[in-house]
Structure 1
Protein backbone atom coordinates (compact mmCIF):
# COMPACT_ATOMS: atom_id res chain seq x y z
CA UNK A 1 0.00 0.00 0.00
CA UNK A 2 1.30 3.44 -0.87
CA UNK A 3 0.13 6.54 0.97
CA UNK A 4 0.64 9.94 -0.58
CA UNK A 5 0.37 13.15 1.44
CA UNK A 6 -0.76 16.35 -0.24
CA UNK A 7 0.17 19.51 1.64
CA UNK A 8 -0.85 23.04 0.76
CA UNK A 9 2.30 24.88 -0.39
CA UNK A 10 0.42 28.09 -1.25
CA UNK A 11 0.71 29.40 2.31
CA UNK A 12 3.94 31.19 1.36
CA UNK A 13 2.04 33.61 -0.89
CA UNK A 14 1.20 37.10 0.38
CA UNK A 15 -2.33 38.40 -0.21
CA UNK A 16 -2.26 41.91 1.17
CA UNK A 17 -2.92 43.46 4.55
CA UNK A 18 -5.12 41.98 7.27
CA UNK A 19 -7.84 44.61 6.82
CA UNK A 20 -8.34 43.61 3.20
CA UNK A 21 -8.18 39.98 4.23
CA UNK A 22 -11.16 40.47 6.54
CA UNK A 23 -13.20 42.42 4.00
CA UNK A 24 -12.50 40.17 1.02
CA UNK A 25 -12.49 36.70 2.55
CA UNK A 26 -14.30 35.11 -0.41
CA UNK A 27 -11.91 36.69 -2.90
CA UNK A 28 -8.96 35.57 -0.79
CA UNK A 29 -10.29 32.01 -0.86
CA UNK A 30 -10.42 32.10 -4.66
CA UNK A 31 -6.85 33.43 -4.88
CA UNK A 32 -5.56 30.71 -2.54
CA UNK A 33 -7.37 28.05 -4.53
CA UNK A 34 -6.02 29.27 -7.87
CA UNK A 35 -2.44 29.30 -6.57
CA UNK A 36 -2.57 25.96 -4.75
CA UNK A 37 0.25 23.56 -5.61
CA UNK A 38 0.41 20.18 -3.84
CA UNK A 39 3.59 19.30 -1.99
CA UNK A 40 3.97 15.53 -2.20
CA UNK A 41 5.27 13.12 0.39
CA UNK A 42 4.87 9.36 0.02
CA UNK A 43 5.14 6.26 2.16
CA UNK A 44 4.73 2.56 1.52
CA UNK A 45 3.85 -0.55 3.47
CA UNK A 46 3.29 -4.22 2.64
CA UNK A 47 2.39 -7.34 4.60
CA UNK A 48 2.49 -10.93 3.41
CA UNK A 49 -0.36 -11.90 5.73
CA UNK A 50 -0.97 -15.63 6.02
CA UNK A 51 0.54 -16.55 2.66
CA UNK A 52 3.75 -18.52 2.20
CA UNK A 53 5.27 -15.95 -0.17
CA UNK A 54 4.55 -12.44 -1.43
CA UNK A 55 2.97 -12.13 -4.88
CA UNK A 56 2.27 -8.38 -4.77
CA UNK A 57 4.50 -5.46 -5.75
CA UNK A 58 4.46 -1.68 -5.57
CA UNK A 59 6.48 1.27 -6.84
CA UNK A 60 6.99 4.91 -5.86
CA UNK A 61 8.79 7.20 -8.34
CA UNK A 62 9.05 10.88 -7.42
CA UNK A 63 10.05 12.05 -10.92
CA UNK A 64 8.98 9.64 -13.66
CA UNK A 65 10.72 11.27 -16.63
CA UNK A 66 13.99 11.87 -14.79
CA UNK A 67 14.01 8.30 -13.49
CA UNK A 68 14.21 7.01 -17.08
CA UNK A 69 16.40 9.78 -18.51
CA UNK A 70 13.59 11.49 -20.42
CA UNK A 71 12.85 15.20 -20.75
CA UNK A 72 9.55 16.51 -19.39
CA UNK A 73 7.60 19.41 -20.85
CA UNK A 74 8.23 22.77 -19.14
CA UNK A 75 10.20 20.90 -16.46
CA UNK A 76 6.92 19.72 -14.91
CA UNK A 77 7.52 16.83 -12.54
CA UNK A 78 5.27 13.78 -12.91
CA UNK A 79 5.17 11.54 -9.84
CA UNK A 80 4.21 7.89 -10.35
CA UNK A 81 2.87 5.37 -7.83
CA UNK A 82 1.57 1.86 -8.40
CA UNK A 83 0.22 -1.23 -6.66
CA UNK A 84 0.20 -4.61 -8.41
CA UNK A 85 -1.70 -7.49 -6.81
CA UNK A 86 -0.32 -10.72 -8.24
CA UNK A 87 -1.89 -14.17 -8.42
CA UNK A 88 -0.58 -17.58 -9.52
CA UNK A 89 2.95 -16.39 -8.81
CA UNK A 90 4.84 -13.12 -8.63
CA UNK A 91 6.19 -12.90 -12.20
CA UNK A 92 3.42 -10.76 -13.68
CA UNK A 93 3.32 -8.31 -10.76
CA UNK A 94 7.09 -7.84 -10.79
CA UNK A 95 7.23 -7.51 -14.57
CA UNK A 96 4.51 -4.86 -14.66
CA UNK A 97 6.09 -2.96 -11.76
CA UNK A 98 9.46 -2.90 -13.52
CA UNK A 99 8.27 -2.21 -17.06
CA UNK A 100 4.98 -0.27 -17.11
CA UNK A 101 6.59 3.03 -16.01
CA UNK A 102 9.22 2.73 -18.75
CA UNK A 103 6.63 1.90 -21.43
CA UNK A 104 4.71 5.04 -20.43
CA UNK A 105 7.78 7.29 -20.63
CA UNK A 106 8.96 5.83 -23.95
CA UNK A 107 5.59 6.38 -25.66
CA UNK A 108 5.88 9.00 -28.41
CA UNK A 109 2.92 10.95 -26.99
CA UNK A 110 4.34 11.19 -23.45
CA UNK A 111 3.66 13.45 -21.62
CA UNK A 112 1.39 15.59 -23.82
CA UNK A 113 -1.43 13.05 -24.13
CA UNK A 114 -1.04 11.30 -20.82
CA UNK A 115 -4.46 9.65 -20.58
CA UNK A 116 -4.11 8.06 -24.00
CA UNK A 117 -0.52 7.03 -23.21
CA UNK A 118 -1.40 5.36 -19.91
CA UNK A 119 -4.30 3.37 -21.35
CA UNK A 120 -2.18 2.23 -24.30
CA UNK A 121 0.79 1.37 -22.07
CA UNK A 122 -1.21 -1.01 -19.88
CA UNK A 123 -2.18 -3.05 -22.94
CA UNK A 124 1.31 -2.91 -24.46
CA UNK A 125 2.91 -4.03 -21.19
CA UNK A 126 0.50 -6.96 -21.08
CA UNK A 127 1.51 -8.01 -24.61
CA UNK A 128 5.23 -7.59 -23.85
CA UNK A 129 4.83 -9.82 -20.79
CA UNK A 130 3.28 -12.52 -23.00
CA UNK A 131 6.23 -12.30 -25.40
CA UNK A 132 8.87 -12.48 -22.67
CA UNK A 133 7.27 -15.38 -20.81
CA UNK A 134 5.93 -17.30 -23.82
CA UNK A 135 7.98 -20.39 -22.88
CA UNK A 136 8.08 -19.86 -19.13
CA UNK A 137 5.79 -21.04 -16.35
CA UNK A 138 5.42 -17.38 -15.34
CA UNK A 139 3.02 -17.00 -18.27
CA UNK A 140 0.33 -18.43 -15.97
CA UNK A 141 0.75 -15.62 -13.45
CA UNK A 142 -1.37 -12.49 -13.53
CA UNK A 143 -1.72 -9.21 -11.72
CA UNK A 144 -4.14 -6.39 -11.20
CA UNK A 145 -2.64 -2.93 -11.67
CA UNK A 146 -3.48 0.45 -10.22
CA UNK A 147 -1.39 3.55 -10.85
CA UNK A 148 -1.59 7.14 -9.67
CA UNK A 149 0.22 10.01 -11.37
CA UNK A 150 0.45 13.55 -10.03
CA UNK A 151 1.53 16.45 -12.24
CA UNK A 152 0.89 20.04 -11.28
CA UNK A 153 -2.53 20.04 -9.63
CA UNK A 154 -3.77 17.02 -11.59
CA UNK A 155 -4.20 13.51 -10.23
CA UNK A 156 -4.66 10.73 -12.81
CA UNK A 157 -5.60 7.25 -11.58
CA UNK A 158 -5.66 4.20 -13.85
CA UNK A 159 -7.04 0.87 -12.67
CA UNK A 160 -7.36 -2.64 -14.06
CA UNK A 161 -8.56 -5.03 -11.36
CA UNK A 162 -9.69 -4.74 -7.75
CA UNK A 163 -7.03 -2.56 -6.18
CA UNK A 164 -8.48 0.77 -5.12
CA UNK A 165 -7.46 4.42 -4.85
CA UNK A 166 -9.18 6.62 -2.26
CA UNK A 167 -8.65 10.36 -1.93
CA UNK A 168 -9.35 12.03 1.41
CA UNK A 169 -11.04 15.39 0.92
CA UNK A 170 -11.56 17.07 4.28
CA UNK A 171 -12.07 13.66 5.83
CA UNK A 172 -14.51 12.42 3.19
CA UNK A 173 -13.50 9.43 1.06
CA UNK A 174 -13.52 10.05 -2.69
CA UNK A 175 -13.12 6.79 -4.59
CA UNK A 176 -10.82 7.34 -7.55
CA UNK A 177 -11.28 3.85 -9.00
CA UNK A 178 -13.87 1.12 -9.43
CA UNK A 179 -13.34 -2.50 -8.40
CA UNK A 180 -13.38 -4.68 -11.52
CA UNK A 181 -15.10 -7.76 -10.19
CA UNK A 182 -17.65 -10.08 -11.83
CA UNK A 183 -20.35 -8.83 -9.44
CA UNK A 184 -20.09 -5.33 -10.95
CA UNK A 185 -23.02 -4.98 -13.36
CA UNK A 186 -21.14 -2.87 -15.92
CA UNK A 187 -18.26 -5.33 -15.95
CA UNK A 188 -20.62 -8.28 -16.23
CA UNK A 189 -22.29 -6.72 -19.27
CA UNK A 190 -18.89 -6.08 -20.87
CA UNK A 191 -17.77 -9.65 -20.16
CA UNK A 192 -20.93 -11.19 -21.59
CA UNK A 193 -20.76 -9.01 -24.70
CA UNK A 194 -17.32 -10.52 -25.39
CA UNK A 195 -18.40 -14.12 -24.99
CA UNK A 196 -17.54 -14.57 -21.32
CA UNK A 197 -19.75 -15.45 -18.39
CA UNK A 198 -19.92 -15.23 -14.61
CA UNK A 199 -20.16 -18.45 -12.63
CA UNK A 200 -20.50 -18.36 -8.84
CA UNK A 201 -18.95 -14.89 -8.74
CA UNK A 202 -15.94 -15.76 -10.91
CA UNK A 203 -15.07 -14.77 -14.47
CA UNK A 204 -15.65 -17.91 -16.55
CA UNK A 205 -15.65 -19.74 -13.21
CA UNK A 206 -11.91 -19.11 -12.75
CA UNK A 207 -10.91 -15.54 -11.84
CA UNK A 208 -12.20 -13.19 -9.15
CA UNK A 209 -11.42 -10.12 -11.30
CA UNK A 210 -12.52 -9.09 -14.78
CA UNK A 211 -9.47 -6.97 -15.64
CA UNK A 212 -5.84 -7.94 -15.16
CA UNK A 213 -2.50 -8.16 -16.91
CA UNK A 214 -0.95 -11.57 -17.54
CA UNK A 215 -2.93 -14.82 -17.20
CA UNK A 216 -1.98 -15.65 -20.78
CA UNK A 217 -2.59 -19.36 -20.24
CA UNK A 218 -6.31 -18.51 -20.22
CA UNK A 219 -6.43 -18.12 -23.99
CA UNK A 220 -10.19 -17.91 -24.37
CA UNK A 221 -10.51 -15.19 -21.75
CA UNK A 222 -7.61 -13.22 -23.24
CA UNK A 223 -9.18 -13.43 -26.70
CA UNK A 224 -6.46 -15.55 -28.32
CA UNK A 225 -8.49 -18.75 -28.41
CA UNK A 226 -11.84 -17.42 -29.59
CA UNK A 227 -12.99 -17.77 -33.16
CA UNK A 228 -12.05 -14.45 -34.70
CA UNK A 229 -10.30 -13.41 -31.49
CA UNK A 230 -8.02 -10.46 -31.99
CA UNK A 231 -5.37 -11.24 -29.40
CA UNK A 232 -4.68 -8.87 -26.51
CA UNK A 233 -7.81 -7.03 -25.48
CA UNK A 234 -10.10 -9.23 -27.57
CA UNK A 235 -11.51 -11.33 -24.74
CA UNK A 236 -13.51 -10.75 -21.58
CA UNK A 237 -10.35 -10.56 -19.41
CA UNK A 238 -9.14 -7.07 -20.28
CA UNK A 239 -5.86 -5.33 -19.53
CA UNK A 240 -7.30 -1.94 -20.46
CA UNK A 241 -7.63 0.33 -17.42
CA UNK A 242 -10.38 2.72 -16.48
CA UNK A 243 -9.11 6.24 -15.87
CA UNK A 244 -10.22 9.04 -13.58
CA UNK A 245 -8.66 12.49 -13.30
CA UNK A 246 -9.32 15.25 -10.78
CA UNK A 247 -7.85 18.66 -10.05
CA UNK A 248 -6.41 18.74 -6.55
CA UNK A 249 -7.29 21.53 -4.15
CA UNK A 250 -6.29 22.57 -0.65
CA UNK A 251 -9.16 20.40 0.64
CA UNK A 252 -7.39 17.23 -0.54
CA UNK A 253 -5.34 15.70 2.26
CA UNK A 254 -3.93 12.37 1.07
CA UNK A 255 -4.41 9.47 -1.31
CA UNK A 256 -4.38 5.78 -0.37
CA UNK A 257 -3.78 3.14 -3.02
CA UNK A 258 -3.95 -0.45 -1.88
CA UNK A 259 -4.71 -4.01 -2.89
CA UNK A 260 -7.98 -5.78 -2.14
CA UNK A 261 -6.49 -7.09 1.12
CA UNK A 262 -6.85 -3.57 2.50
CA UNK A 263 -10.35 -2.96 1.18
CA UNK A 264 -11.67 -6.35 2.28
CA UNK A 265 -10.96 -5.15 5.83
CA UNK A 266 -11.75 -1.43 5.61
CA UNK A 267 -14.40 0.57 3.83
CA UNK A 268 -13.10 3.56 1.89
CA UNK A 269 -14.48 5.94 4.51
CA UNK A 270 -13.03 3.96 7.41
CA UNK A 271 -9.60 4.05 5.77
CA UNK A 272 -9.43 7.84 5.64
Structure 2
Protein backbone atom coordinates (compact mmCIF):
# COMPACT_ATOMS: atom_id res chain seq x y z
CA UNK A 1 0.00 0.00 0.00
CA UNK A 2 1.28 3.48 -0.84
CA UNK A 3 -0.21 6.96 -0.62
CA UNK A 4 0.97 10.36 -1.84
CA UNK A 5 -0.81 13.54 -0.80
CA UNK A 6 -1.48 16.45 -3.15
CA UNK A 7 -4.36 18.24 -1.39
CA UNK A 8 -4.00 20.31 1.78
CA UNK A 9 -6.05 17.62 3.50
CA UNK A 10 -5.58 14.03 2.37
CA UNK A 11 -8.96 13.00 0.98
CA UNK A 12 -7.98 9.42 0.08
CA UNK A 13 -8.51 6.60 2.57
CA UNK A 14 -7.77 2.90 2.17
CA UNK A 15 -7.74 -0.39 4.01
CA UNK A 16 -6.74 -4.03 3.68
CA UNK A 17 -8.44 -6.61 5.91
CA UNK A 18 -7.50 -10.28 5.87
CA UNK A 19 -9.21 -12.93 7.96
CA UNK A 20 -12.85 -13.61 8.81
CA UNK A 21 -15.29 -11.81 6.52
CA UNK A 22 -18.18 -12.04 8.96
CA UNK A 23 -18.81 -10.88 12.51
CA UNK A 24 -18.86 -14.57 13.47
CA UNK A 25 -15.13 -15.25 13.55
CA UNK A 26 -15.55 -18.96 14.27
CA UNK A 27 -17.57 -19.64 11.15
CA UNK A 28 -18.40 -18.17 7.77
CA UNK A 29 -16.13 -17.15 4.92
CA UNK A 30 -12.50 -16.13 5.27
CA UNK A 31 -10.72 -13.98 2.74
CA UNK A 32 -9.18 -10.61 1.94
CA UNK A 33 -10.92 -7.26 1.63
CA UNK A 34 -9.37 -4.21 -0.04
CA UNK A 35 -10.95 -0.76 -0.04
CA UNK A 36 -9.83 2.44 -1.77
CA UNK A 37 -11.92 5.52 -0.96
CA UNK A 38 -11.15 8.65 -2.96
CA UNK A 39 -12.85 11.57 -1.26
CA UNK A 40 -13.79 14.91 -2.78
CA UNK A 41 -14.93 18.17 -1.21
CA UNK A 42 -13.24 17.11 2.02
CA UNK A 43 -12.12 13.97 3.87
CA UNK A 44 -15.27 13.33 5.92
CA UNK A 45 -17.00 10.84 3.63
CA UNK A 46 -13.93 8.76 2.79
CA UNK A 47 -13.09 8.55 6.49
CA UNK A 48 -16.66 7.50 7.27
CA UNK A 49 -16.53 4.79 4.60
CA UNK A 50 -13.20 3.57 5.97
CA UNK A 51 -14.74 3.27 9.43
CA UNK A 52 -18.04 1.63 8.48
CA UNK A 53 -18.22 -0.18 5.14
CA UNK A 54 -16.22 -3.27 6.09
CA UNK A 55 -18.17 -3.68 9.33
CA UNK A 56 -21.44 -3.54 7.39
CA UNK A 57 -20.12 -6.11 4.93
CA UNK A 58 -19.18 -8.49 7.76
CA UNK A 59 -22.59 -8.06 9.36
CA UNK A 60 -24.51 -8.88 6.18
CA UNK A 61 -22.14 -11.75 5.36
CA UNK A 62 -22.86 -13.19 8.81
CA UNK A 63 -26.60 -12.96 8.16
CA UNK A 64 -26.26 -14.87 4.88
CA UNK A 65 -23.33 -17.04 6.06
CA UNK A 66 -21.61 -16.31 2.75
CA UNK A 67 -20.13 -13.62 0.54
CA UNK A 68 -22.30 -12.47 -2.35
CA UNK A 69 -23.20 -9.58 -4.63
CA UNK A 70 -26.23 -8.94 -2.41
CA UNK A 71 -24.05 -8.69 0.71
CA UNK A 72 -21.83 -6.11 -0.97
CA UNK A 73 -24.74 -4.07 -2.27
CA UNK A 74 -26.34 -3.99 1.18
CA UNK A 75 -23.04 -2.88 2.71
CA UNK A 76 -22.87 0.05 0.28
CA UNK A 77 -26.48 0.96 0.98
CA UNK A 78 -25.99 0.87 4.76
CA UNK A 79 -22.86 3.02 4.45
CA UNK A 80 -24.71 5.56 2.31
CA UNK A 81 -27.61 5.69 4.76
CA UNK A 82 -25.21 6.05 7.66
CA UNK A 83 -23.49 9.04 6.11
CA UNK A 84 -26.86 10.57 5.26
CA UNK A 85 -27.58 10.43 8.99
CA UNK A 86 -24.33 12.30 9.68
CA UNK A 87 -25.30 15.00 7.18
CA UNK A 88 -28.75 15.36 8.71
CA UNK A 89 -27.26 15.84 12.18
CA UNK A 90 -24.58 18.32 11.11
CA UNK A 91 -26.50 20.22 8.42
CA UNK A 92 -27.54 23.17 10.61
CA UNK A 93 -24.01 23.94 11.83
CA UNK A 94 -21.91 22.49 9.00
CA UNK A 95 -23.92 22.66 5.76
CA UNK A 96 -20.85 21.96 3.60
CA UNK A 97 -20.97 18.35 4.84
CA UNK A 98 -23.76 17.83 2.27
CA UNK A 99 -21.29 18.57 -0.56
CA UNK A 100 -18.64 16.09 0.60
CA UNK A 101 -18.49 12.69 -1.06
CA UNK A 102 -16.27 9.77 -1.93
CA UNK A 103 -15.63 7.28 -4.67
CA UNK A 104 -15.66 3.79 -3.24
CA UNK A 105 -13.79 0.82 -4.74
CA UNK A 106 -13.63 -2.51 -2.96
CA UNK A 107 -12.38 -5.98 -3.77
CA UNK A 108 -13.16 -9.16 -1.88
CA UNK A 109 -11.21 -12.38 -2.47
CA UNK A 110 -13.17 -15.29 -1.04
CA UNK A 111 -13.64 -18.98 -1.91
CA UNK A 112 -11.81 -18.74 -5.22
CA UNK A 113 -13.81 -15.74 -6.38
CA UNK A 114 -12.99 -12.08 -6.68
CA UNK A 115 -15.78 -9.58 -6.11
CA UNK A 116 -15.12 -6.03 -7.30
CA UNK A 117 -17.55 -3.22 -6.52
CA UNK A 118 -17.21 0.43 -7.43
CA UNK A 119 -18.87 3.81 -7.38
CA UNK A 120 -16.89 6.65 -8.93
CA UNK A 121 -13.68 6.53 -10.93
CA UNK A 122 -11.17 4.50 -8.94
CA UNK A 123 -10.08 1.34 -10.71
CA UNK A 124 -9.18 -2.31 -10.10
CA UNK A 125 -6.91 -3.98 -12.66
CA UNK A 126 -5.94 -7.64 -12.77
CA UNK A 127 -2.54 -8.76 -14.02
CA UNK A 128 -2.80 -12.04 -15.96
CA UNK A 129 0.38 -13.80 -17.01
CA UNK A 130 0.78 -15.38 -20.44
CA UNK A 131 2.58 -18.64 -19.64
CA UNK A 132 4.07 -19.09 -23.10
CA UNK A 133 5.89 -15.76 -23.02
CA UNK A 134 5.92 -14.72 -19.37
CA UNK A 135 4.36 -11.42 -20.36
CA UNK A 136 1.44 -9.95 -18.47
CA UNK A 137 -1.88 -8.60 -19.72
CA UNK A 138 -4.08 -6.07 -17.96
CA UNK A 139 -7.75 -6.82 -17.36
CA UNK A 140 -9.84 -4.01 -15.89
CA UNK A 141 -12.43 -5.44 -13.51
CA UNK A 142 -14.16 -2.29 -12.31
CA UNK A 143 -16.70 -0.15 -14.13
CA UNK A 144 -16.12 3.60 -13.81
CA UNK A 145 -18.72 6.30 -13.33
CA UNK A 146 -17.15 9.46 -14.68
CA UNK A 147 -19.01 11.55 -17.24
CA UNK A 148 -15.83 12.03 -19.25
CA UNK A 149 -16.81 8.55 -20.56
CA UNK A 150 -19.42 8.79 -23.31
CA UNK A 151 -21.38 5.74 -22.15
CA UNK A 152 -21.72 7.28 -18.68
CA UNK A 153 -23.01 10.52 -20.21
CA UNK A 154 -25.53 8.49 -22.20
CA UNK A 155 -26.61 6.72 -19.02
CA UNK A 156 -27.17 10.05 -17.30
CA UNK A 157 -29.24 11.35 -20.23
CA UNK A 158 -31.36 8.19 -20.22
CA UNK A 159 -31.96 8.51 -16.46
CA UNK A 160 -32.84 12.21 -16.78
CA UNK A 161 -34.55 12.58 -20.18
CA UNK A 162 -36.28 15.78 -19.11
CA UNK A 163 -33.03 17.57 -18.22
CA UNK A 164 -30.97 18.71 -21.21
CA UNK A 165 -28.34 20.10 -18.83
CA UNK A 166 -27.81 16.97 -16.75
CA UNK A 167 -24.26 16.83 -18.14
CA UNK A 168 -22.46 20.04 -19.10
CA UNK A 169 -19.09 20.65 -20.75
CA UNK A 170 -17.48 23.26 -18.50
CA UNK A 171 -13.91 24.50 -19.01
CA UNK A 172 -13.41 21.59 -21.39
CA UNK A 173 -14.39 19.05 -18.71
CA UNK A 174 -17.68 17.12 -18.64
CA UNK A 175 -19.50 17.53 -15.31
CA UNK A 176 -22.84 16.46 -13.87
CA UNK A 177 -24.90 19.68 -13.64
CA UNK A 178 -21.66 21.50 -14.35
CA UNK A 179 -20.42 20.63 -10.85
CA UNK A 180 -19.01 17.13 -10.40
CA UNK A 181 -17.37 14.58 -12.70
CA UNK A 182 -18.59 11.34 -11.11
CA UNK A 183 -22.14 10.08 -11.54
CA UNK A 184 -22.07 7.70 -8.57
CA UNK A 185 -20.62 8.15 -5.11
CA UNK A 186 -21.12 7.74 -1.40
CA UNK A 187 -22.24 11.05 0.09
CA UNK A 188 -22.69 14.13 -2.14
CA UNK A 189 -26.10 14.32 -0.52
CA UNK A 190 -26.74 17.75 -2.05
CA UNK A 191 -27.25 16.00 -5.40
CA UNK A 192 -29.41 13.23 -3.95
CA UNK A 193 -31.79 14.89 -1.48
CA UNK A 194 -33.51 18.18 -2.31
CA UNK A 195 -33.70 19.18 1.36
CA UNK A 196 -29.91 19.53 1.36
CA UNK A 197 -29.72 21.59 -1.83
CA UNK A 198 -30.71 24.96 -0.45
CA UNK A 199 -29.49 27.63 1.94
CA UNK A 200 -27.25 27.60 3.94
CA UNK A 201 -25.35 25.44 1.40
CA UNK A 202 -22.87 27.47 -0.65
CA UNK A 203 -24.39 28.96 -3.78
CA UNK A 204 -22.00 27.13 -6.12
CA UNK A 205 -23.51 23.80 -5.05
CA UNK A 206 -27.16 24.84 -5.29
CA UNK A 207 -29.19 23.94 -8.36
CA UNK A 208 -31.21 26.58 -10.15
CA UNK A 209 -34.20 24.31 -10.65
CA UNK A 210 -35.95 21.96 -8.19
CA UNK A 211 -34.52 18.44 -7.94
CA UNK A 212 -37.17 15.99 -9.19
CA UNK A 213 -35.16 12.86 -8.42
CA UNK A 214 -31.69 11.97 -7.12
CA UNK A 215 -29.06 13.08 -9.62
CA UNK A 216 -26.21 10.93 -8.33
CA UNK A 217 -26.47 7.29 -7.29
CA UNK A 218 -24.85 5.24 -4.54
CA UNK A 219 -25.50 1.94 -6.40
CA UNK A 220 -22.23 0.10 -7.04
CA UNK A 221 -21.31 -1.70 -10.23
CA UNK A 222 -20.33 -5.20 -9.09
CA UNK A 223 -18.44 -7.87 -11.02
CA UNK A 224 -17.57 -11.42 -9.99
CA UNK A 225 -14.45 -13.06 -11.39
CA UNK A 226 -13.54 -16.72 -10.92
CA UNK A 227 -9.84 -16.70 -10.11
CA UNK A 228 -7.60 -18.66 -12.48
CA UNK A 229 -4.01 -19.94 -12.12
CA UNK A 230 -2.77 -17.23 -14.50
CA UNK A 231 -4.24 -14.43 -12.34
CA UNK A 232 -1.11 -13.03 -10.71
CA UNK A 233 -1.98 -9.80 -8.91
CA UNK A 234 -4.49 -7.00 -8.50
CA UNK A 235 -3.89 -3.27 -8.54
CA UNK A 236 -6.47 -1.15 -6.73
CA UNK A 237 -5.92 2.59 -7.09
CA UNK A 238 -7.63 5.95 -7.00
CA UNK A 239 -7.88 7.86 -10.25
CA UNK A 240 -4.76 9.84 -9.36
CA UNK A 241 -2.72 6.85 -10.55
CA UNK A 242 -4.74 6.15 -13.68
CA UNK A 243 -4.54 9.78 -14.79
CA UNK A 244 -0.82 9.15 -15.28
CA UNK A 245 -0.45 5.44 -16.11
CA UNK A 246 -2.36 3.11 -18.42
CA UNK A 247 -3.59 -0.26 -17.17
CA UNK A 248 -0.93 -2.05 -19.20
CA UNK A 249 1.88 0.22 -18.02
CA UNK A 250 0.88 -0.41 -14.41
CA UNK A 251 0.76 -4.21 -14.66
CA UNK A 252 4.10 -4.30 -16.48
CA UNK A 253 5.72 -2.31 -13.67
CA UNK A 254 4.38 -4.80 -11.12
CA UNK A 255 5.37 -7.83 -13.20
CA UNK A 256 8.91 -6.63 -13.87
CA UNK A 257 9.97 -5.51 -10.40
CA UNK A 258 10.34 -7.09 -6.94
CA UNK A 259 7.21 -7.32 -4.82
CA UNK A 260 8.69 -5.40 -1.92
CA UNK A 261 7.81 -1.72 -2.27
CA UNK A 262 5.87 -2.26 -5.49
CA UNK A 263 3.01 0.10 -4.56
CA UNK A 264 5.54 2.86 -3.88
CA UNK A 265 7.15 2.13 -7.24
CA UNK A 266 3.79 2.62 -8.99
CA UNK A 267 3.26 5.92 -7.20
CA UNK A 268 6.75 7.07 -8.17
CA UNK A 269 6.14 6.12 -11.81
CA UNK A 270 2.92 8.16 -11.77
CA UNK A 271 4.69 11.17 -10.26
CA UNK A 272 7.49 10.91 -12.81
CA UNK A 273 4.89 10.96 -15.57
CA UNK A 274 3.14 13.96 -13.98
CA UNK A 275 6.47 15.81 -13.85
CA UNK A 276 7.22 14.88 -17.45
CA UNK A 277 3.88 16.31 -18.60
CA UNK A 278 4.82 19.62 -16.98
CA UNK A 279 8.35 19.46 -18.41
CA UNK A 280 9.89 19.51 -14.95
CA UNK A 281 12.16 17.24 -12.97
CA UNK A 282 10.71 14.63 -10.61
CA UNK A 283 12.90 15.99 -7.81
CA UNK A 284 11.43 19.47 -8.30
CA UNK A 285 7.87 18.12 -8.22
CA UNK A 286 8.59 16.52 -4.85
CA UNK A 287 9.57 19.90 -3.42
CA UNK A 288 6.16 21.45 -4.14
CA UNK A 289 3.98 21.98 -1.08
CA UNK A 290 0.70 20.15 -0.52
CA UNK A 291 -2.20 22.13 -1.87
CA UNK A 292 -0.13 23.64 -4.66
CA UNK A 293 0.73 20.09 -5.76
CA UNK A 294 -2.94 19.52 -6.58
CA UNK A 295 -2.33 21.58 -9.73
CA UNK A 296 0.16 18.91 -10.84
CA UNK A 297 -1.48 15.67 -9.68
CA UNK A 298 -4.23 14.32 -7.44
CA UNK A 299 -3.91 12.38 -4.20
CA UNK A 300 -2.81 8.87 -5.17
CA UNK A 301 -3.58 5.67 -3.28
CA UNK A 302 -2.36 2.28 -4.52
CA UNK A 303 -2.84 -1.21 -3.11
CA UNK A 304 -1.25 -4.20 -4.83
CA UNK A 305 -2.54 -7.65 -3.86
CA UNK A 306 -0.61 -10.70 -5.06
CA UNK A 307 -2.60 -13.86 -5.70
CA UNK A 308 -1.60 -17.45 -4.98
CA UNK A 309 -4.42 -19.55 -6.39
CA UNK A 310 -3.25 -22.65 -4.51
CA UNK A 311 -3.53 -20.85 -1.19
CA UNK A 312 -6.73 -19.07 -2.20
CA UNK A 313 -8.47 -22.35 -2.92
CA UNK A 314 -7.77 -23.42 0.67
CA UNK A 315 -8.27 -20.02 2.28
CA UNK A 316 -11.59 -20.81 3.94
CA UNK A 317 -10.10 -23.80 5.75
CA UNK A 318 -6.93 -21.96 6.80
CA UNK A 319 -7.90 -19.93 9.86
CA UNK A 320 -4.94 -17.57 9.67
CA UNK A 321 -4.50 -14.61 12.04
CA UNK A 322 -6.32 -11.44 11.03
CA UNK A 323 -4.41 -8.51 9.57
CA UNK A 324 -5.80 -4.98 9.31
CA UNK A 325 -4.00 -2.19 7.46
CA UNK A 326 -5.35 1.34 7.09
CA UNK A 327 -3.60 4.09 5.20
CA UNK A 328 -0.14 4.28 6.73
CA UNK A 329 -0.94 2.30 9.88
CA UNK A 330 -0.86 -1.45 10.39
CA UNK A 331 -2.55 -3.50 13.08
CA UNK A 332 -1.30 -7.04 13.63
CA UNK A 333 -2.55 -9.66 16.09
CA UNK A 334 -0.71 -9.78 19.42
CA UNK A 335 0.39 -13.35 18.78
CA UNK A 336 1.34 -14.73 15.38
TM-score (norm 1): 0.74
* TM-superposed deviation, 1:102: 1.0
1:217 match: secondary structure? helix
In structure 1, the partner of 2:301 is none
In structure 2, the partner of 1:204 is 177
* TM-superposed deviation, 1:223: 11
CA deviation map 1:205-231 (0-9, x unaligned): 11011111101123468999634x4xx
1:173 match: secondary structure? strand
Distance in 2 between residues matched to 1:249 and 1:208, nearest whole Å? 35
1:96 match: secondary structure? helix
The structure 2 residue matched to 1:118, chosen from 72, 88, 93, is 72
Distance in 2 between residues matched to 1:124 and 1:143, nearest whole Å? 15
Number of aligned residue pairs: give it: 219
In structure 2, the partner of 1:215 is 188
In structure 2, the partner of 1:93 is 46
1:245 match: secondary structure? strand
Alignment of 1:229-248 (within 5 A): 229=213, 235-248=214-227
In structure 2, the partner of 1:149 is 108
The structure 1 residue matched to 2:5, chosen from 48, 54, 75, is 48
Structure 1 unmatched runs, 5+: 1-43, 230-234
In structure 2, the partner of 1:169 is 128
* TM-superposed deviation, 1:113: 5.5
CA RMSD of aligned residues (A): 2.3
* TM-superposed deviation, 1:112: 2.9
Distance in 2 between residues matched to 1:240 and 1:252, nearest whole Å? 27
In structure 1, the partner of 2:266 is none
In structure 2, the partner of 1:226 is 211
Check conservation: 1:167, 1:173, Cα contact below 8 A: yes
Distance in 1 between residues matched to 2:74 and 2:24, nearest whole Å? 21
In structure 2, the partner of 1:102 is 55
**Range moving further from structure 2, 101-110 or 145-154:** 101-110
* TM-superposed deviation, 1:269: 0.4
Check conservation: 2:38, 2:102, Cα contact below 8 A: yes
**Counterparts in 2 of 1:185 and 1:206: CA distance versus 1, 3 Å:** same
CA deviation map 1:171-205 (0-9, x unaligned): 10010112211132332233223326110100111
* TM-superposed deviation, 1:131: 0.6
In structure 2, the partner of 1:267 is 246
Check conservation: 2:36, 2:106, Cα contact below 8 A: yes
Distance in 2 between residues matched to 1:72 and 1:269, nearest whole Å? 39
Structure 2 unmatched runs, 5+: 130-135, 198-209, 252-336
Distance in 2 between residues matched to 1:64 and 1:160, nearest whole Å? 25
**Counterparts in 2 of 1:269 and 1:253: CA distance versus 1, 3 Å:** same
